[in-house]
Amino acid sequence: MQEIVNVSNFLQKRTEALQSLDLKRILPLFAPNAEVVDASSNVTSAEDYLQKYLPLFRRLKINNVKVTDIVVRENKAYTLEKYDFDAEVFNARTKIKGQVAMSCVLQRIDNEWKIVQYCVSNTFNEQLLSILNQIDEKKLRKRKN
């Protein structure tokens, strides 16, 4: 039972880190070889995924988080979650609202939970990709630095 509480606390920490939009807070929550499977079934490293999408947001708010399942087996944990998403997009007058469903595979590494796989599906992926294609790449790179 305590491990389920520990995983739940980790997920809360992850949510807070994502809302901060600060890669220095977010990346340490992932294992070095962690991967993300996105709504288009693309598989990429967590670091590449986060570096591509986080700079798009000026503000990110995650609401109504529902952790629907946590299973812990020795040094692995599996989670299912849903939440509402409300964001302002950088360098655009666009606000995005939607829902996200995700699953995570966590592994205990050096006595800490780390995300090793992150599968995410959302209701706004095409809208976000359209915005990504419209944003001036030079301005986006400048914002990353």
CATH code of 2-144, in short, is 3.10.450.50
Token pair for 76: 């692995």
Residue 128: pLDDT over 70: no
Segment 104-113 shows an average pLDDT of 95
109-115, long-range: CB < 8 A, 24+ apart? 109/31, 113/6, 113/7, 113/10, 113/77, 114/29, 114/30, 114/31, 114/34, 115/14, 115/29, 115/30, 115/31, 115/34, 115/46
- Mention every residue, 6+ apart, whose C-beta is less than 8 A from residue 116: 30, 31, 33, 34, 35, 105, 106, 107
Place of tokens 């979650």: 81
Q: Is 92 helix (H, G, I), strand (E, B) or coil?
A: coil
The strand pairing partners of 36, in sequence order, are: 44, 118
pTM over 0.75: yes
The winner for highest mean pLDDT among 39-43, 97-101, 135-139 is 97-101
